Structure 1
Amino acid sequence: MDNDTPVAGIELGGTKAIAVRGCGMTVTEMRSFPTTTPDETLGQVIDVLAQWDAEEALAAIGIASFGPIRVATDAPDFGSILATPKPGWANTPVLGPVAERFACPIALDTDVNAAAMAEHAIGAAQGCSNTIYITIGTGLGAGILLDGKPVHGLLHPEAGHIRMRRAAGDDFAGVCPFHGDCAEGLLSGPALLARLPTHPGELAEDDPAWGPVGRDLAEMLAQLILTFSPQRIVIGGGVTNRQPHLLDKARAHIPQILAGYLTDIDAARLAYMICSPLLGDEAGPAGALALALKALAENR
């Protein structure tokens, strides 16, 4: 990895968009904008990248976008947002406007796949060939690396919309407009606002209302452990950043959910396996730079 290569990236989120530039994986500058309309948001970040490119030619650009987004390079709508509850963004081309402005190599992936790449390269998942990065905030997304490579296929992982076994007596309907009580509908920021008796920031860590939330998070994590055999699950996003006790609650439930099936998944292993991002809020921007370096390597 060339730590002197001038690259740039775009982290396109549902709430804000970040333009980032760096030398290799090292972030040197970031600019942030609210995610409003596609034209305004993409125009602002592209203008910043153009300014940086004029100062020093960019070797490559990475785009880490919220989803669902078409990541199959042979698809006619490659690089476009698909069906999304984000008003005005369905069927929006994201790659196209960037490719029209810059001649350098460009790579695109989901924001969570990119964050997983960054944590795998320089963060909490170094040396872990199978890595899952989960972000829980306005929505819930998961980026999955198998043998160090992001999972694509039919689309890309949408673990935020898996359905889960519910705890007895928990009748919260969920808030997902598509599925109701999928993982996102139960665990996202809007879900917590709807299911908890008061604002999450005002609810004591030992309040019993957190119990079903921790159980639901554990159920999702147990499914991912059984399905993808990760060595590390990194959990970021506003919900767990502000409520880190949820990770402890989830870890405590997982052995019971696994019911003795994986005998080496004990409390010590779970404390190591499930962790917060080492890169913190820079996981996404650093992931965009990782995509830029990937584009450069593939172009070479």
Structure 2
Amino acid sequence: MDVLGIDIGGSGIKGAPVDTETGELTQERLRIPTPHPAKPAAVAEVVAEIVDHFAWTGPVGVTFPGVVVDGVVRSAANVHESWIGVDASKLFGDATVLNDADAAGIAEMTFGAGRGRRGTVLMLTFGTGIGSALFIDGTLVPNTELGHLELDGKDAEHRASDKAREDHDLSWGKWAERVEEYLRHVDMLFSPSLIIIGGGVSKKSDKFLPHISVDTEVVPAKLQNEAGIIGAAQTTTS
């Protein structure tokens, strides 16, 4: 079954039809820069543009960078605060809407690095912020938002996100020190058997993962930056 998956990020909004049986994109993805300010109406226009681009009339799944409960947005750290309280499902034409990292995690657990893994698995996405998806024996604990844990008196994502690396002009090695500090913190809290690193930086894992040493196995996401699209599509069929 093909479903259109759309992944809303802090810098870009990406979409493509997905074969939910195989987890493969069936057409080349379309990426449009996230409007600034990223208010609901402006973002909804981009989502509609992606739907029109693929001339899509079937089911649609959409990710959102914040807490989403029953399609309603409850937090908005990296988009405009006017999102809070918005029924995103209705705004996007009755699409299925879920947290972006949760979507990426679902895809990785089904088709990627977490496939077949039991116990506690933690997916972390490093981009504009830090997203998280926590799984217990394959079952998602939704909306964990662990990027907002406090680290050295600051939101962890303000120190260790990929945006922080760019904003502070950090070398990969220096950034890896911050990421390791963060990983040690979540490792202490959850004692996972596996940590999966996703987001845009997963394509460059060779630049920073060798500098990171934690007790838990840490691997890059296999689906890389397409995980959110694939997970958004998957969720509409579950």
Does residue 82 of the first structure (1) align with residue 45 of the second (2)?
no
How much identity, in percent, do the aligned residues show? 24
Residue from 108, 113, 118 that aligns with 1:119:
108
Question: Which residue is 1:278 aligned to?
Answer: 222
Equivalent runs, 1:137-216 vs 2, <5 Å: 137-152=127-142, 156-164=143-151, 181-195=154-168, 199-200=169-170, 203=171, 210=174, 213-216=175-178
Displacement of 1:193 in angstroms is 4.1
Question: Which residue is 1:249 aligned to?
Answer: 211
Q: Secondary structure at the match of 1:293?
A: coil
In terms of fraction of residues, the more strand-rich structure is 2
Distance 2:81 2:177 in 1: 34
Displacement of 1:88 in angstroms is 5.8
Question: Is the CA contact (8 Å cut-off) linking 1:131 and 1:232 kept in structure 2?
Answer: yes
Cα deviation code 1:70-101 (max 9, x no counterpart): 32x3xxxx422534353465324421122xx3
Question: Which residue is 1:8 aligned to?
Answer: 4
Distance 2:81 2:155 in 1: 24
Distance 2:43 2:206 in 1: 31
Does residue 231 of the first structure (1) align with residue 193 of the second (2)?
yes
Distance 2:166 2:18 in 1: 37
Displacement of 1:232 in angstroms is 2.1
Instruction: Give the alignment's Cα RMSD to 1 decimal.
Output: 2.6
TM-score by length of 2: 0.82
Displacement of 1:242 in angstroms is 4.1
Distance 1:229 1:107 in 2: 31
Kindly report structure 1 stretches of 4+ aligned residues shifted beyond 6 Å.
none
**Amino acid corresponding to residue 225 of structure 2 in structure 1:** D
In structure 2, stretches of 5+ residues that fail to align are none
Question: Which residue is 1:289 aligned to?
Answer: 233
* Alignment CA distance shift 1:110-1:83 (3 Å): closer
Question: Which residue is 1:46 aligned to?
Answer: 48
Question: Is the CA contact (8 Å cut-off) linking 1:81 and 1:93 kept in structure 2?
Answer: no
Cα deviation code 1:56-83 (max 9, x no counterpart): x52x32221111x332x3xxxx422534
Distance 1:225 1:190 in 2: 22
TM-score by length of 1: 0.67
The count of aligned residue pairs is: 230
Q: Secondary structure at the match of 2:208?
A: helix
Distance 1:225 1:97 in 2: 37
Question: Is the CA contact (8 Å cut-off) linking 1:113 and 1:142 kept in structure 2?
Answer: yes
Displacement of 1:107 in angstroms is 2.9
In structure 1, stretches of 5+ residues that fail to align are 167-179, 255-264, 295-300
